[in-house]
Amino acid sequence: MELNANIPVRSERQAMDWSLVLVSQGIETAIEQAPESGAWRLRVSEDDQARAWTTLRLYWHENRRRRWQRPLKWTGLLFDGRAAFWFGLIAAIYLVDALGFADFKGVGMMDTLAVRKGEWWRLFTAVMLHADVGHLAGNAATGFLLLGLAMGSYGAGAGLLAAYLAGAGGNVAAFFLAGETHRSLGASGMVLGALGLLAVHSFSQWRSGATTRDLAGRSLMASVLLLVLLGMSPKTDVDVLAHVAGFVSGAILGLGWGLLPERARCSPWLDRSTALGCAALVALTWMLASRGKPI
């Protein structure tokens, strides 16, 4: 078999480790050092290249340091406990606002008229606000589980950023389809965005076989049932619209992630850059909200 496809590695040690992993899965490989650059790489056949990347991705996920991650028995899913920091931040914002130290609701809640005047950041800041303790507790209880699973499935940074963008997507839908007097706040759209991410996660392995397709279909059906349970019983039709839009936004982002090459999805740089991107987006939108000036 001709080994005509390259898999780059960082060092000879990593090349040896990865070669053993691939050989254990019946994938023929050879270790080679490029004469022109001195860089190490693995050689595999083009027919085995996709399966090799899938195998290495699984190996990386199974063996990377998981200080915050725990597998859920019988599900094949990982739960990332760093979701607690997000809801801790949301709780802190609520507490500061409730004690009167800042008017986060006034400058950050979703307000269609204000957004039309240029205050676009409200589409994002409203995701981090809550009306009362019950509202906060309800979203935190459900959201901690769903967001933790999304962060475990996609990576902490990618899962958090995608869920946050999905929550803003719910507000975007309300902006275009609700009335001019529409005002809202809450993380429900983000919570259901995390559910949308989970609904389509298994579709990234759709081509693996009939068993995987069956599991993907069941995952989607279960997620839709949860959407009906969690997102279809709010006080207004506008809330339902934002919830469904958040779920759909999360599903679209999840499908987009699944189209990335295996190498990109495995990269720790993607996880770090998306985490930094989410932090930067939160900081920017709240900085603009504190100034209160449209740009």
CATH number at residue 31: 3.30.70.1530
Same domain? 109 vs 84: yes
Task: Tell me: pLDDT of 175 over 90.
Answer: yes
Domain count, the chain: 2
The reported pLDDT for the residue numbered 59 is 79
Residue 50 CB-half CA count within 13 A: 7
From 27, 48, 63, give the residue that closes a domain: 63
Instruction: Tell me whether strands 30-33 and 5-8 are parallel, antiparallel or unpaired.
Output: unpaired
Instruction: Give the whole-angstrom CA distance, residue 74 versus residue 76.
Output: 6
Please report the sign of the dihedral spanned by the C-alpha atoms of residue 71, residue 75, residue 76, residue 78: negative
From 33, 63, 93, give the residue that closes a domain: 63
Same domain? 255 vs 122: yes
Same domain? 57 vs 112: no
Same domain? 127 vs 215: yes
Residue 15: band (very low, low, confident or very high) from pLDDT cuts 50, 70, 90: confident
From 63, 96, 113, give the residue that closes a domain: 63
CATH of the domain at 77: 1.20.1540.10
Same domain? 53 vs 113: no
Start-to-end CA distance of the chain, whole Å, equals 60
Instruction: Tell me whether strands 77-80 and 110-111 are parallel, antiparallel or unpaired.
Output: unpaired
- Which residues neighbour 202 within 8 Å (Cβ) at sequence distance 6 or greater? 212, 215, 216, 219
Same domain? 191 vs 102: yes
Same domain? 237 vs 150: yes
Give the pLDDT confidence of 62-79 residue by residue, as tens digits.
665 566 777 777 666 789
207 three-state secondary structure: helix
Same domain? 28 vs 120: no
Residue type, 103: D
Domain that holds residue 50: 5-63
Give the pLDDT confidence of 188-238 residue by residue, as tens digits.
899 999 989 988 886 655 544 444 454 455 555 555 556 555 655 555 445
